């Protein structure tokens, strides 16, 4: 509130995750496996309480050229994420996608040369994943899954330094379509079309410097962490249009010490957001959300990481005072 002290301090381990990679038998050229991963959050992140929140829980069959997977997985739509310390990774501030939902997925890989790869991805997914905000349950699927797809091109030799290594240049285009049904006043129903188009890229310009980012536009994308977590207008049941994206510059001062600077913005159409409710725990009518960030990360060794990040966030509301603030995050990460 205006004129009141809003400084606060939090120390918690809710970003800690537990994961188990599973490996099964090989047959017909395929390797069976899977992954189970959970964080110490409640069933929805915005609840801000301790619990156990499943992030990944899927089984898969993989070969050198294709992959079949079923279960809880991250989105095909705009799958990238900026290198930031908070668990939210700029969700609702330009980073669309990165939701986790039940999904059937097929992926196909083409390698016309050792330094080239084309990736095709297709998925049927749960439309109303509510692990970010429980109010997503106010809308429901219309009897059909969402359809997600992506095509990506990678250029350059693939480093063998880690399983997460990337080719020096990658460019992807993704999209999704679906529907959401909303019941108003227990008698009137509306069906809103959901769609989105996204572009993601990664470019390691030199051994030390690179740039990466994503951009999106669409409507009804609240469960895809866009529209500042607003997919459907709760007064009318109509989909909310939104556009935005994020951009990050990364610099490796040494192989173990690196810095990441960036900006993200999520901009719903002001005339379509839900009317504000001053009594709501989380204010409605969010018309814009943007974040600037800069961090320094030290990978002490292969298992221990220390980081610090300065971030400025600014949120605009419809008919309510805007909110902004400067924050500093620290991270002590031990992987084993």
- pLDDT single digits (tens) 212-269: 999 999 999 999 999 999 999 888 889 999 999 999 999 999 999 999 999 999 999 9
Tokens of 25: 């038998």
Distance CA 185, CA 191 (A): 15
Distance CA 193, CA 118 (A): 30
Task: For 17-334, give the CATH class.
Answer: mainly beta
Which residue ranges make up each domain of the chain? Answer: 17-334
pLDDT-based confidence at residue 8 (cuts at 50, 70, 90): confident
Comparing 26-30, 82-86, 162-166, 176-180, the range with the smallest average pLDDT is 162-166
Comparing 138-147, 207-216, 288-297, the range with the smallest average pLDDT is 138-147
pLDDT-based confidence at residue 175 (cuts at 50, 70, 90): very high
For residue 114, what are the contacts with CB-CB under 8 A and spacing of at least 6? 157
- Long-range CB contacts for residues 155-162, cutoff 8 Å, separation at least 24: 155/115, 155/116, 156/115, 156/204, 157/114, 157/115, 158/117
Distance CA 287, CA 183 (A): 24
Q: What is the model's pLDDT at position 334?
A: 86
Whether the predicted pLDDT of 85 surpasses 60: yes
Whether the predicted pLDDT of 309 surpasses 90: yes
For residues 57 and 48, which has the higher predicted lDDT (pLDDT)?
57
> Averaged over 20-44, what is the pLDDT?
90
Q: What is the model's pLDDT at position 265?
A: 98
pLDDT-based confidence at residue 280 (cuts at 50, 70, 90): low
Distance CA 165, CA 185 (A): 51
Whether the predicted pLDDT of 52 surpasses 90: no
For residues 305 and 319, which has the higher predicted lDDT (pLDDT)?
305
How far is residue 195 from each of residues 33, 98, 168, 270, measured CA to CA in Å? 32, 16, 30, 18
pLDDT-based confidence at residue 2 (cuts at 50, 70, 90): low
Mean pLDDT, the chain, as a whole number? Answer: 90
Greatest C-alpha distance within the chain? 67
Whether the predicted pLDDT of 157 surpasses 70: yes
pLDDT-based confidence at residue 131 (cuts at 50, 70, 90): confident
Whether the predicted pLDDT of 88 surpasses 90: no
pLDDT-based confidence at residue 122 (cuts at 50, 70, 90): very high
């Amino acid at each position: 509130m205006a004129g009141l002290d809003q400084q606060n301090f939090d120390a918690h381990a809710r970003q800690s995750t537990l994961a188990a990679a599973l490996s099964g038998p090989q047959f017909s050229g395929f390797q069976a496996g899977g992954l189970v991963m959970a964080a110490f959050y409640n069933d929805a992140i915005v609840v801000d309480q301790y619990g156990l929140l499943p992030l990944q829980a899927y089984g898969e069959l993989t070969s050198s050229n294709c992959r079949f997977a079923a279960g809880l997985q991250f989105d095909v739509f705009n799958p990238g994420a900026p290198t930031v310390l908070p668990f939210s990774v700029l969700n609702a501030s330009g980073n669309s996608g990165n939701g986790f939902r039940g999904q059937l997925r097929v992926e196909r890989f083409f390698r016309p040369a050792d330094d080239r790869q084309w990736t095709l991805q297709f998925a049927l997914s749960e439309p109303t994943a509510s692990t970010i905000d429980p109010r997503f349950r106010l809308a429901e699927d219309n009897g059909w899954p969402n359809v997600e797809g992506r095509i990506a091109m990678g250029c350059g030799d693939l480093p063998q330094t880690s399983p997460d290594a990337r080719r020096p240049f990658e460019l992807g285009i993704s999209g999704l379509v679906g529907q959401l049904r909303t019941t108003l006043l227990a008698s009137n129903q509306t069906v809103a079309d959901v769609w989105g188009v996204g572009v993601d890229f990664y470019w390691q310009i030199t051994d030390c410097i690179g740039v990466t980012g994503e951009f999106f536009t669409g409507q009804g994308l609240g469960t895809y962490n866009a529209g500042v977590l607003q997919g459907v207008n709760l007064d009318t049941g109509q989909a909310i249009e939104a556009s935005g994206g994020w951009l990050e510059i990364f610099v490796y001062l040494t192989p173990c010490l690196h810095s990441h600077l960036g900006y993200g913005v999520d901009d719903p159409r002001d005339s379509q957001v839900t009317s504000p409710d001053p009594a709501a725990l989380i204010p409605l009518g969010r018309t814009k959300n943007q974040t600037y960030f800069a961090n320094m990360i030290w990978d002490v060794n292969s298992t221990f990481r220390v980081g610090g990040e300065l971030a400025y966030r600014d949120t605009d509301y419809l008919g309510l005072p805007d909110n902004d603030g400067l924050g500093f995050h620290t991270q002590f990460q031990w992987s084993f």
